């Protein structure tokens, strides 16, 4: 991560905050406003109450994500799926054990930046925490994000999404009345970060995926108090175990849909060791911000793209902006009814998130919802181009069924009438430089 920060700085994509900021609200507020101005990463040199500098907004830019996986043409979906295909055939044993780094410093949780993000959050949260844990049966390692609430130097509380691998491992351990050992990694290499963001079959290793993204073997060293191999690249490591048969109040917390999730009885992570690399940098992610959502949207879109391409011709690209609950499919129309078939296929491609699905022609910018809606409004009738499916469950965490049902919108132009919908263009418009006129 430090190499990546240096690269962004050299490329002029890192803004530095020299004044001291308060970890309660101020750091989050500066992050939010800075993100409205640009995708640049933000480096806070001084944060009140801690010696650690804090970096944020490292992974908010779609272009930077493409660069990280060598998708030079800016098409994330096919490049990402190629990486996943290659990971499938890789050995799960893709790591090389080495000695622990000589510069490790021991400490306690409260030495780290304790950042409180929103007005009604229950307390400080570690939002960039990647949990490393092993399947208790197969011993295959997994990486996954789970924000964690700071309670004391001995305890964090975590909300485990039921569909996530960590929850499944914890359930397996709990059946045997055993705690699940895990390590939180904060401040990892881009390859580990990207590998953690995605869900892959449990018999593939996410460390193998990270190794494929990085193009090199992942070097690890033995954890201090648990049976795990820690990636050398992790800046900060928190070792511990998720207790069996123990739930305590966690939350409320302002999360990715823009609302507070209420407090609930959730899992307890008991800390056994905390240490970091000398001069470590702490990574903060503002939940629901572009750094949180862009990556999650992009890997979800790649999953949809793979499924759609398997069953239909003419699928050009997929996006899940502006929020994960939305899917926009770009097609090159091949026959009448093609767009409706794309809608039907999309409904089955992800059971959690595609609450609304739009299909557009390949001249529409699928990262711009204004263009998508404009295409629907200008390219055909409303009644024949919408599909509503009632009473289908959606997002797994939905006690009031607010995410049930599906909406499909065909925003493509009528098949065979492309000439009537040619977009008007002023000759010379594209290359014109306005500065030549307003001097
Ligand atoms: C930057 C980022 C932060 C995330 N934070 C959380 C989180 O706090 N809690 C959660 O349940 N999921 C979170 N997710 C979603 C999933 O946990 C994540 O994609 C997960 O790593 C899936 O891995 P798994 O299928 O291997 O369990 C986050 C995803 C990203 C990309």
Ligand 1 center to 24 CA (angstroms): 23
Which residues is 241 bridged to in the sheet?
181, 270
Ligand 1 atom nearest the C-alpha of 59 is 1
Q: Is the pLDDT of residue 388 over 90?
A: yes
Helical pair 206-214 and 76-88, crossing angle rounded to 10 deg? 120
Confidence at 161, pLDDT banded by 50, 70, 90: confident
Residue from 145, 284, 298 whose mutation best tests the ligand 1 pocket (most atoms within 8 A of CB): 145
What pLDDT sits at residue 396? 83
**What number does CATH give the domain 312-416?**
3.40.1670.10
Is 2-289 in CATH node 3.40.50.720?
A: no
Q: Whose CA is nearest to atom 7 of ligand 1?
A: 146
Q: Are the beta carbons of 365 and 371 closer than 8 angstroms?
A: yes
Question: For atom 13 of ligand 1, which residue has the closest CA?
Answer: 145
- Report the nearest atom of ligand 1 relative to the CA of 166: 27
Smallest CA-to-CA distance from 189 within 143, 131, 235, 132 is with: 235
Q: How far apart are CA 55 and CA 127, in angstroms?
A: 12
Which residues does a 6 A CB cutoff place in the pocket of ligand 1?
142, 144-147, 161, 164-166, 196-197, 199, 285, 292, 295-296
Give the Å distance between the CA of 146 and the centre of ligand 1.
Answer: 6
Domain boundaries, the chain: 2-289, 312-416
- Residues 405 and 392: their CA atoms lie apart, in Å, by 5
Rounded distance between C-alpha atoms, residue 62 and residue 75, angstroms: 10
Per-residue pLDDT at 88: 84
**Confidence at residue 92, expressed as pLDDT on a 0 to 100 scale:** 66
Q: What pLDDT, on a 0 to 100 scale, did the predictor assign at position 352?
A: 85
pLDDT of residue 290: 92
For residue 352, which of 329, 328, 324 has the smallest C-alpha distance?
Answer: 324
Residue range 365-373: average pLDDT?
A: 96
Q: What integer pLDDT is reported at residue 15 of this predicted model?
A: 98
Dist. CA 200–CA 280, nearest whole Å: 30
For residue 319, is the peptide bond before it cis, meaning its omega torsion is within 30 degrees of 0? no
SS3 category, 238? strand
Q: pLDDT, tens digit, for every residue of 163-184?
A: 899 999 999 999 999 999 999 9
CA of 145 to the centre of ligand 1 (A): 4
**Cα(326)–Cα(297) distance, integer angstroms:** 9
Q: How far apart (Å, rounded) are the C-alpha atoms in residues 238 and 219?
A: 18
Q: Distance, CA 376 to ligand 1 centroid (Å)? A: 32
Contact predicate 325/355, CB 8 Å: yes
Q: Which residue's CA lies nearest to atom 21 of ligand 1?
A: 144
307 Cα: distance to centroid of ligand 1 (angstroms) = 21
Name which residue sits closest to atom 19 of ligand 1, judged by CA: 197
Q: Whose CA is nearest to atom 25 of ligand 1?
A: 199
Q: In what order do the strands lie in the sheet with 95-97?
A: 95-97, 218-222, 229-231
Q: Which residues pair with 21 in a beta bridge?
A: 47
pLDDT of residue 105: 98
Please state the rounded mean pLDDT for residues 335-356: 94
pTM: 0.94
CA of 273 to the centre of ligand 1 (A): 23
Strands 260-261 and 315-319: unpaired
Q: Do domains 2-289 and 312-416 have the same CATH topology?
A: no
Substitution site in 59, 164, 396 for ligand 1 pocket (most atoms within 8 Å of beta carbon): 164
At 349, list the tokens. Answer: 């491609």
> Higher-confidence residue: 144 or 93?
144
List, as one string, the DSSP characters of 28-46. HHHHHHHHHH-S-EEEES-
Please say whether the beta carbons of 228 and 134 come within 8 A. Answer: yes
276 strand-pairing partners: 105, 236
Instruction: Give the DSSP H/E element, type plus range, for residue 10.
Output: helix 2-10
- Cα(181) to centroid(ligand 1), Å: 18
DSSP 173-213: HHHTT-PEEEEEEES--HHHHHHHHS---TTS-HHHHHHHH
How are beta strands 95-97 and 218-222 bridged, if at all?
A: parallel
* Cβ neighbours for 12, distance < 8 A, ≥ 6 positions apart: none
Q: Which atom of ligand 1 is nearest to the CA of 291?
A: 1
Residue 307 has a pLDDT of: 96
Question: How far is ligand 1, taken at its centre, from the CA of residue 197, in Å?
Answer: 6
Flag whether pLDDT at 286 surpasses 70: yes
């Amino acid at each position: 991560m430090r190499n990546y920060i240096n690269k962004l700085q050299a490329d002029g994509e890192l803004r530095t905050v020299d004044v001291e900021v308060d970890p309660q609200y101020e750091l989050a507020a500066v992050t939010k406003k800075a993100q409205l101005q640009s995708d640049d990463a933000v480096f806070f040199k001084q944060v009140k109450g801690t010696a650690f500098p804090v970096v944020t907004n490292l992974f908010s830019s779609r272009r930077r994500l493409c660069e990280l996986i060598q998708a030079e043409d800016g098409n994330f979906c096919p490049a990402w799926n190629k990486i996943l295909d290659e990971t499938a055939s890789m050995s799960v044993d893709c790591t090389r054990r080495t000695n622990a780094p000589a510069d490790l410093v021991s400490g306690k949780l409260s030495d780290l930046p304790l950042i409180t993000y929103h007005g009604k959050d229950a307390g400080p949260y570690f939002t960039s925490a990647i949990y490393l844990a092993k399947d208790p049966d197969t011993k295959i390692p997994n990486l996954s994000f789970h924000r964690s609430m700071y309670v004391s130097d001995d305890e964090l509380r975590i909300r485990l999404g039921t569909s996530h691998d960590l929850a499944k491992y914890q359930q397996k351990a709990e059946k045997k009345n055993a705690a699940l050992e895990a390590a939180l990694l904060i401040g990892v290499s881009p390859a580990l970060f990207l590998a953690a963001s995605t869900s892959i079959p449990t018999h593939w290793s996410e460390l193998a995926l990270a190794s494929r993204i990085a193009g090199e073997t992942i070097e690890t060293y033995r954890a201090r108090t648990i049976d795990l191999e820690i990636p050398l690249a992790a800046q900060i490591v928190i070792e511990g175990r998720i207790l069996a048969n123990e739930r305590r109040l966690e939350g409320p917390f302002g999360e990715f849909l823009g609302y507070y999730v209420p407090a609930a009885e959730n899992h307890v992570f008991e800390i056994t060791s905390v240490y970091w690399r000398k001069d470590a940098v702490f990574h903060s992610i503002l939940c629901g911000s572009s750094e949180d959502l862009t990556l999650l949207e992009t890997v979800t879109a790649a999953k949809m793209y793979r499924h759609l391409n398997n069953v239909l011709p003419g699928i050009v690209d997929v996006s899940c902006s502006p929020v994960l609950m939305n899917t926009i499919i770009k097609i090159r129309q091949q026959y009448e009814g093609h767009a409706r078939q794309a809608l039907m296929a999309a409904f089955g491609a992800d059971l959690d998130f595609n609450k609304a699905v739009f299909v557009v022609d390949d001249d529409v910018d699928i990262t711009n919802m204004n263009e998508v809606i404009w295409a629907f409004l200008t390219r055909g009738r409303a009644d024949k181009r919408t599909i509503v499916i009632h009473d289908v469950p959606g997002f797994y965490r939905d006690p009031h069924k607010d995410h049930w049902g599906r909406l499909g919108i065909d925003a493509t132009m009528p098949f065979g009438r492309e000439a009537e919908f040619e977009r008007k263009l002023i000759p010379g418009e594209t290359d014109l430089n306005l500065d030549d006129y307003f001097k």
